[in-house]
Amino acid sequence: MIGGRRPLQGRKLGDKRLRVERPHAPYFRYTGKGQLTAKEAASIPTTPGARLIARIRAVLLGRPLHQDAELGERLSKRKALAIFSSDAISSSAYATEEIILAFTLAGAGALAVGLALEVAIAIAVLLAVVAFSYRQVCVAYPTGGGSYSVSKANFGKVASLVAASALLIDYNLTAAVSTSSAVEQLVSAIPGLDPLRVGIGVTALGLITLANLRGVREAGNIFAVPTYLFLFSALMMIAIGAYRILVLNEGHQPPPPEIVASTTVTAQAVGVVLLLRAFASGAVALTGTEAIATGVPAFKPPESRNAATTLLVMAGILAVLFVGITFLATNFAVYPIEHPKQTVIAQVARIVYGDNIAFFAFQTFTALLLFLAANTSFAAFPRLAAVLGEDGFFPRQFSFRGDRLAFSTGIVLLGLIAASLVVVAGGHTHALIPLYAVGVFIDFTISQAGMIRHWLRTRSPGWKRRLVINAVGCVATAIVAIVVTSVKFVDGAWFVVVLIPILVSMMLFIRREYDDQERELDVREDIIIEGPHREQRVVIPVNGINRAVVQAVNFGRTMSRDVRAVYVTEDSEEGEGLRQRWERQVPGVPLVIVESPYRAVISPVLAYLDVLDQAWPPDKEAPITIVVLPEYVARHWWERLLYNQTAKRLKAAILGREHTVIADVPYRRDR
Partner 1 sequence: MPDIETSLFRRAVVALNGGPSDARIVRLVAAQAVKTKAELIAVHVVEIDWTLPLDADIAGRSEDVQRVLDSAETIAEAHKLTMEPVLLQARDVAAAIVDEATERDADLLVVGLPYRKRFGGEFAIGRTVPYILQNAPCAVWVVREPMSEETT
Integer Cα distance of 80 and 399 in angstroms: 25
Name, in order, each residue with C-beta under 8 angstroms of 214's C-beta and a sequence gap of 6 or more: 61, 62, 404, 406
Q: Residue 650: what residue type?
A: L
565 phi, psi to nearest 5 deg:
-100, 145
17 phi, psi to nearest 5 deg:
-140, 160
- The DSSP secondary-structure symbol of 283 reads G
**Whole-number minimum distance, CB 24 to partner 1, in Å?**
7
Short-list 172, 133, 174, 163, CA closest to 443: 163
Query: For 517-619, where are the E strands, in sequence order?
Result: 536-541, 563-569, 591-595
**Whole-number minimum distance, CB 39 to partner 1, in Å?**
10
**Whole-number minimum distance, CB 68 to partner 1, in Å?**
9
Comparing CB distances to partner 1, the nearer of 34 and 461 is 34
- The DSSP secondary-structure symbol of 342 reads B
Comparing CB distances to partner 1, the nearer of 2 and 521 is 2
Short-list 104, 97, 63, CA closest to 405: 63
**Whole-number minimum distance, CB 29 to partner 1, in Å?**
4
Comparing CB distances to partner 1, the nearer of 3 and 254 is 3
Chain mean position to CA 378: 7
Give yes or no for residue 64 binding partner 1 (CB under 8 A). Answer: no
Comparing CB distances to partner 1, the nearer of 28 and 514 is 28
Comparing CB distances to partner 1, the nearer of 17 and 51 is 17
**Whole-number minimum distance, CB 303 to partner 1, in Å?**
28
Span near partner 1 by CB under 8 A; candidates 2-10, 350-358, 523-531, 564-572: 2-10
Longest Cα–Cα distance in the chain: 113
**Whole-number minimum distance, CB 42 to partner 1, in Å?**
14
Span near partner 1 by CB under 8 A; candidates 1-9, 155-163, 238-246, 270-278: 1-9
Comparing CB distances to partner 1, the nearer of 71 and 125 is 71
Residues 34-63, interacting with partner 1 (CB under 8 A): 34
**Whole-number minimum distance, CB 492 to partner 1, in Å?**
54
199 touches 187 (CB < 8 A)? no
337 phi, psi to nearest 5 deg:
-115, 130
537 touches 560 (CB < 8 A)? yes
212 touches 381 (CB < 8 A)? no
Residue 490's CB is within 10 A of a number of other CB atoms, namely: 9
**Whole-number minimum distance, CB 35 to partner 1, in Å?**
9
**Whole-number minimum distance, CB 20 to partner 1, in Å?**
4
**Whole-number minimum distance, CB 9 to partner 1, in Å?**
8
Site size for partner 1 (CB under 8 A)? 26
Q: What share of the chain is helix, strand, coil (3-state, %, to 5)?
A: 65, 10, 25
Which three-class secondary structure state does DSSP give residue 326? helix
Q: List Cα–Cα distances, 625 to 256, 285, 591, 608, 609, in angstroms.
A: 84, 65, 16, 12, 8
Comparing CB distances to partner 1, the nearer of 20 and 58 is 20
Integer Cα distance of 519 and 509 in angstroms: 15
Q: Residue 212: what residue type?
A: N
Comparing CB distances to partner 1, the nearer of 12 and 519 is 12
282 touches 99 (CB < 8 A)? yes
Comparing CB distances to partner 1, the nearer of 16 and 547 is 16
**Whole-number minimum distance, CB 62 to partner 1, in Å?**
18
Comparing CB distances to partner 1, the nearer of 71 and 269 is 71
**Whole-number minimum distance, CB 23 to partner 1, in Å?**
9
Comparing CB distances to partner 1, the nearer of 33 and 533 is 33
Give, to the nearest 10 degrees, the angle between helix 408-424 and helix 197-213: 170
Comparing CB distances to partner 1, the nearer of 35 and 46 is 35
Q: In what order do the strands lie in the sheet with 624-632?
A: 591-595, 563-569, 536-541, 624-632, 660-667
Peptide bond into 382 cis (omega under 30): no
Residues 7-36, interacting with partner 1 (CB under 8 A): 7-8, 10-12, 14-22, 24-25, 29-34
Integer Cα distance of 305 and 307 in angstroms: 5
Instruction: Return residues touching partner 1 (CB under 8 A).
Output: 1-3, 5, 7-8, 10-12, 14-22, 24-25, 29-34
